[in-house]
Amino acid sequence: MAIPNVRIPSRQLYIDGEWRESVKKNRIPIINPATEEIIGDIPAATEEDVDIAVEAARRALAGDEWGSTTGAQRAKYLRAIAAKILERKSELATLESLDCGKTLFEAAWDMDDIAACFEYYADLAEALDSKKKTPVDLHMDSFKTYVLREPLGVVGLITPWNYPLLMATWKVAPALAAGCAAILKPSELASITCLELGEICREVGLPPGALNILTGLGPEAGAPLVSHPHVDKIAFTGSATTGVKIMTAAAQLVKPVTLELGGKSPIVVFDDIDNLDLAVEWTLFGCFANAGQVCSATSRLIIQESIASEYLERLLLWIKNIKISDPLEEDCKLGPIVSSGQYEKVLKFISKAKDEGATILCGGERPQHMKKGYYVQPTIITDVNTSMEIWKEEVFGPVLCVKTFKTEEEAIELANDTKYGLASAIMSKDLERCERFTKAFQTGIIWFNCSQPTFMQLPWGGRKRSGFGRDLGEWGLEKYLNIKQVTQYTSDEPWAFYKSPSKV
């Protein structure tokens, strides 16, 4: 893909279908993680801006232009957005790469997925029209009943920096498909493409207030959104620490939330695998794609003892071929960490593992040829025990820790030895064993002989401290719908529970 000469747009907040300066007029610098240079800035919303956006969303729901739309009408907007995403694919991918350090290849891949996600939920929006009013047969002559599916209301969508526009789309597309009015609050570390979504919505004529986009800091913009009395639901993807705060704040208003809070996912490798290199590549992709900044990253390699030595040797050979460079360079497969703060956090995890007695088998430092930028070499850590921080906590960087096992029972125990429960992977040609592990894994996502493939038709989410609720698939739409039961008494006969005065 040719790299366009891209200018960083200077945007305001997107509220009520228009660009609007934040009330306090504050802005946050955009730092390119590959160069550490300031390349632009974004508006910093505060509580006052949240109030304005919520009122715009409420007006949209109450008005005919958005609030009275059919699913088929909403589908047209979603398809128009998808077309615009593809039209601007090269530009948006470059902006995303500059903003968060994602390799250009991965960013372009994301843009295809984003357009497909809008198309997918356009189809589900159309299908809603036939499901909106669903009769329920009670097998009784005196009652008729039906279930009504309606938009839940004003929804707050708080999304992370590792897949800025894709993670936003996972929530925006189904929320709009359901007919909700949404307020998107992306991460302050990567907001450029989310703001461009506002421009795309304006260009396609999405009714004012249907989608509002507020950039800014969590305490100043995210917290007021969560606690706002007229926001009917919060959907959040991010850290477990922030998720606890959101759940606590929402509980004060008995406000529903869905939370996707990351993980510490295992990949279990058995000695019966036929193709060692195939398994090795999936292991690397499962932990090092997007510089390891993936909530479902299979960052705990649990490998059968009999092949551990050979497997690690193959991993080291493959790692030598991973190109680490500016993410805009051709064939770059590992770019920088998103920010200086996250960079320091990753290096601290590695240093702590070494202090606790683990062995840094490879990596663990800045690549020598990269003098600027927040780069960390692909890192493999061995001699790990289960009490170490590197085994227990999510690093969110290109760091793989390794333990060995002898028996299935031991592998299952190690795999489930985590407070998280997002994803698990198993590499084995024994499909009956894979099925046993499917039942045993305490996670919401399970991969056989692969790691990380994600499809919009399938539910995405976890259990334990990885949160609850699901993005994607029909499940991603259902969480933005309010379900009403409607019951009609159709008989002319009296109910006869009380004695009628006319018959006394």
Catalytic positions: 260
Between CA 26 and CA 216 the distance in angstroms is 9
Listed residue (370, 378, 393, 395) closest to 33, CA to CA: 370
Taking the C-alpha atoms of residue 328 and residue 98, their distance in angstroms, rounded to an integer, is 8
Which run of H or of E encompasses 361? strand 359-362
- CA torsion 213-457-124-85 (nearest 10°) is 40
DSSP summary character for residue 220? I
Give start and end residues of each alpha helix (H) in 70-157.
71-87, 89-100, 104-131
Q: What is the largest CA-CA distance in the chain?
A: 98
Tokens in use for 397?
Answer: 């960087």
How far from 92 is each of 3, 8, 10, 224, CA to CA, in Å? 11, 10, 14, 29
d(CA 454, CA 445): 10
**Residue 459: CB atoms within 10 Å:** 15
Q: Which helix (H) or strand (E) holds 435?
A: helix 431-440
